[in-house]
Structure 1
Amino acid sequence: MSKSVPSGHSRSSLTRAQKFSVAGVATLGAAALAFSVVPGSSEADVRTEALGTHAASWSMPAQAQQAVHENVSKQQAAADKRAQDAAARKKAEDEAAAKKKAEDERRAKTVASRAAVRKPVYANNLDGWIRQALDIMKAKGIPGSYEGLHRNIMRESTGNPNAVNGWDINAQRGTPSIGLLQVIQPTFTAYHVAGTSTNIYDPVANITAAANYAAHRYGSIDNVNGAY
């Protein structure tokens, strides 16, 4: 005879296999319900992907997660180092450029100062006019000496820059001889030396124009010993 089993105990108890079956059915039902609510929606995809990623991260071994974190930290540190190096290079370049600019300005001021010191100061008299004219003649390649200029000036005008000859043949023709070396206007205009005054009465302009004319006609003002 079989033993009887109390009916109450058999109804309330489920085998282990039955419990897993029930749980599996419930899980599949919930999943089906979730996908059927918003089928194909991007939000569902995003949530599913997020859940999958979260699950993957939790399923990753602790050692692997640590390696990932360390790699990210190294990359960030390298990026920070590159940024710091770039900033340091930029700062060094800016400082070098500023230093060079300051040095160039200082050098320019020094050159200008030295040039101002070297620039000769000529006396406003016959000696100064002759010396200034000689410097210009030397720069322009016009021959002549202090003695040659002084000798001819004293003969022509006795050193008076405003001297005008109103009686010779040039005056009779309407072009009087003027200035230290008694130059007529057409000759002054033709042999005017660039950089000097265009005023025929200007002592330096008068001397250099006359010396330029004498150089072309006689080889040098030094070769002139009379009216020319």
Structure 2
Amino acid sequence: MRTTTLIPRRIATTGITVLGAAGIATAALTGTAHAAPQTAKPAHQTAAKAAAKPVKADDKTDKKDAGKKAEDYPDNLDGWIREAMSIMKKHGIPGSYDGIKRNIIRESGGDPNAVNDWDINAQKGIPSKGLLQVIQPTFDQYHVKGTADKLTDPVANIVAACNYAADRYGTMDNVDSAY
């Protein structure tokens, strides 16, 4: 008879961690935060700065660069996912477009302002919110610097949720139900 010892995976999070609107799973996790390295600015901030910089007629460099700008993303589900994936790539957070979209549709139907006001977390005053139904403590723990510091910001919500899913499940692509 062969004996196998299972060593539980330690997940680095503090507080109650919950994601998912349907059948919310709650886990109390302890340890040190494991967010992705937080150095890059999101594309929407870079684009806003570039757009705010006036083009001077006498500056050859500005003229030359005037036609170039950071990639613009549409303000819709497709744009939010693509911008989030760009940020995730810079920070080594795995996830595919299809895996992210599948989970968003299941969790919020694509509504960045969706709020779950019925589960145990909502009853305790910390409802899950946003595209991927993240609670504030999880967002705070897995937020990636350079994204908006607002739970319902679509791009920040996606990046933080994918960072959490990567830590807990390896990637958002491995999440096939409420998580």
In the TM superposition, 1:18-57 aligns within 5 A as none
Is 2:85 the counterpart of 1:131? no
Matched, 1:143 2:94: yes
Which residue of the other structure, out of 107, 111, 119, is the alignment partner of 1:160? 111
TM-score by length of 2: 0.64
5+ unaligned residues in a row in structure 2: which ranges? 1-58
Partner of 1:113 in structure 2? 66
What are the superposed Cα offsets for residues 150-185 of structure 1, whole Å, 9 maximum, x if unpaired?
000000000000000011121122211000000000
How many pairs were matched up? 121
- Do the aligned partners of residues 139 and 165 (structure 1) sit closer, same or farther apart at CA in structure 2, a change above 3 Å counting? same
Which of 125, 128, 135 is the matching residue for 1:177? Answer: 128
Runs of 4+ in 1 over 2 A off after TM superposition: 108-115
Q: For structure 1, list consecutive stretches of 5 or more residues without a partner in the other structure.
A: 1-104
State the 1:110 CA deviation.
6.0
Hey, what does 1:211 align to over in structure 2?
Answer: 162
The one-letter code of the counterpart of 2:178 is A
Mapped partners of 2:64, 2:168: distance in 1: 40
Superposed displacement of residue 112, structure 1? 3.6
Equivalent residue letter for 2:72: V
Greater relative contact order structure (CA < 8 Å, 6+ sep): 2
1:77-113 Cα offsets, whole Å, 9 max, x none, are xxxxxxxxxxxxxxxxxxxxxxxxxxxx63x436643
